[in-house]
Amino acid sequence: MKIVWAPWRMAYIKNARKPRGCIFCSKVRERRDSVNLLLHRGQHAFVMMNLFPYNSGHLMVAPYAHVKSLEVLSADSALDLIRMTNLSLRVLRAEIRPEGFNVGMNLGRVSGAGIEGHVHLHIVPRWNGDTNFMPLFSETRVIPEHLRATYRKLRAGFRLALQEKGTLRQGPGRDLKRVHPRL
């Protein structure tokens, strides 16, 4: 028998109860980006790693606005959500080189939304052969890289992508790396 070592999962097992309040709202207000795995803050949306990922590099893109569904977002927030998604895809391709992605939203409890009250988009990098027997037989998913190592790699990738001239603009002449909301 082979042993799968995934010590970070113990935090999930011990703290499996749902947090009080909205994790997106509370984590972005804390201003402890590395502790909370926040990778980038845009004008109306932000990018953070999933603390309990399906795969290495599993990201979530969320608006600052606490709304249940996509159609309730302002046009600026919806546009920034897509801009952050595009930036995230670019960084993931450069830093961890997935062969594909699952990108989507779960709107409402019956769709599988774990956090119903705050709309967010998941980006799950995929590689050929990344699904195996473990989830089927033992309800265990194996993540090959530690979250903190992935965070450091992706954080550097976001910084590099934003330093490149003309990479991403937020409205006329407003560079995203200089735009931060006041919460």
Give the mean model confidence (pLDDT) for residues 28-57. Answer: 91
Residue 43 identity (one-letter amino acid) = Q
* pLDDT tens track for 81-106: 999 999 999 999 999 999 999 999 88
* pLDDT tens track for 111-142: 666 777 889 999 999 988 766 544 444 455 55
Q: How confident is the model at residue 62 (pLDDT cuts 50, 70, 90)?
A: very high
Q: How confident is the model at residue 46 (pLDDT cuts 50, 70, 90)?
A: very high
Would you say residue 168 lies in a domain? no
Q: How many CB atoms lie within 10 A of CB 54?
A: 17
How many structural domains are present in the chain?
A: 1
146 catalytic residue (yes or no): no
Give the mean model confidence (pLDDT) for residues 20-36. Answer: 89
Would you say residue 29 lies in a domain? yes
Catalytic hit among 44, 58, 120, 146 = 120
Q: How confident is the model at residue 170 (pLDDT cuts 50, 70, 90)?
A: very low
**Full 3-state SS string of 85-134:** HHHHHHHHHHHCCCCEEEEECCCCHHHCCCCCCCCCEEEEEECCCCCCCH
What's the pLDDT score for residue 116? Answer: 74
Residue with tokens 């595009």: 86
CB–CB of 161/168 below 8 Å? yes
Would you say residue 53 lies in a domain? yes
Would you say residue 11 lies in a domain? no
Q: Which helix (H) or strand (E) holds 83?
A: helix 75-95
Which pTM was predicted? 0.74
CATH of the domain at 96: 3.30.428.10
Nearest-angstrom CA–CA distance, 80 and 121:
12
CB–CB of 161/90 below 8 Å? yes
Domain span at 59: 21-162
Would you say residue 1 lies in a domain? no
Would you say residue 172 lies in a domain? no
